Amino acid sequence: MNDECRKRAAGTVLLIMLLLVGCSQSGHDGKVEQVGEDARDVHLAEVHWTYSGEEGPDHWGKLSPDFAPCSEGLEQSPIDLTNATTVDGGAFERRIGETALTIEQRARVMNLVDNGHTIQVTNDVPMALDLDGKHYELVQYHFHAPSEHTINGEFAPLEVHFVHKSAAGELAVIGVLVEEGEHDPIWDPVLAALPTHDGESRHIEDLELDMSELRPLPKRYYRYHGSLTTPPCSEGVEWFVMAEKRQISPEQMATLVPLLDNNNRPVQPLGERELVLVSVE
């Protein structure tokens, strides 16, 4: 085990401890069970992977039999969002979960962890996504820099992934590309609490974070069937990427981006899949 792996193992232990604390404090069983785009399972977390070099994206599929979809999958993410079929209406319907905490949709507790691949955030407010008759709940959100999805071949400096999970374990991810522009105060509490090295975690209380502002309802979005963008690259993920970029200030961008260290997987072939651009009015 080299130093980096040792740090990662320590990070995994911290993450598990964090989750246990989160579960006991949040009081809604199973909602904080840490799935997501990154491998949450300890077995998978033991397989070391990176974003460059011999354990980089071109080699993920060979690092473990569990990672085979990374090289053999036909419906992988991210993709370049281009030549989409435009359709009216949409399946998106945001609904807030039914607990007293969600009346104001304000999160008071925030847990952040640098898991060695990204900075991942969880809050105490259940955020739901009802889609095609299925109910998903937000389990975590995290960051990639530069963006993983591109729009007509162009990267944004940052992409946020809001990872939702159904009771059956299906994943739906909302991707938001972020560019430099206006200061967005909604992100300040998150940016003020960022962990700065692998394995570090932070627990924040007494927040006033408006989750509906953080994860807004998109008016136009790309939709396609894809995968996790990190090993094990599992497919069957419903992807929604907002067509409009959000903005944060150059100062906000400079606070976050250097901590992410180019954690974006290259775009994957669309193949036989359909890419649609949905307008909701």
Note the residues at the interface with Zn ion (CB under 5 A): 37, 161
CA–CA distance from 66 to each of 62, 106, 173, 191, 232 (Å)? 9, 38, 21, 34, 6
d(CA 244, CA 220): 7
- Provide the minimum distance between the beta carbon of 189 and Zn ion in the complex, in angstroms, as a whole number: 21
d(CA 16, CA 34): 9
Q: What is the phi/psi pair of residue 42, to 5°?
A: -60, -40
SS3 state of residue 238: strand
CA–CA distance from 14 to each of 7, 37, 44, 209, 242 (Å)? 10, 18, 16, 24, 33
Residue with Cβ nearer Zn ion (37 or 114): 37
Q: Where are the alpha helices (DSSP H) in 65-152?
A: 69-72
Question: What does DSSP assign to residue 272?
Answer: T
- Provide the minimum distance between the beta carbon of 37 and Zn ion in the complex, in angstroms, as a whole number: 4
- Provide the minimum distance between the beta carbon of 219 and Zn ion in the complex, in angstroms, as a whole number: 22
The pair of structure tokens assigned to 115 is 């898991």
- Provide the minimum distance between the beta carbon of 4 and Zn ion in the complex, in angstroms, as a whole number: 20
Residue with Cβ nearer Zn ion (12 or 227): 227
Q: What is the bridge-based pairing of β-strands 150-151 and 80-81?
A: parallel
d(CA 65, CA 6): 22
- Provide the minimum distance between the beta carbon of 224 and Zn ion in the complex, in angstroms, as a whole number: 15
Question: In which residue are the tokens 């281009």 written?
Answer: 82
Residue with Cβ nearer Zn ion (101 or 158): 158
Determine which helix (DSSP H) or strand (DSSP E) holds 154, and give its type and residue range.
none
Residue with Cβ nearer Zn ion (70 or 101): 70
Residue with Cβ nearer Zn ion (101 or 178): 178
Instruction: Give me the residue whose beta carbon is nearest to Zn ion.
Output: 161
- Provide the minimum distance between the beta carbon of 86 and Zn ion in the complex, in angstroms, as a whole number: 26
- Provide the minimum distance between the beta carbon of 25 and Zn ion in the complex, in angstroms, as a whole number: 25
Residue with Cβ nearer Zn ion (18 or 158): 158
Residue with Cβ nearer Zn ion (158 or 211): 158
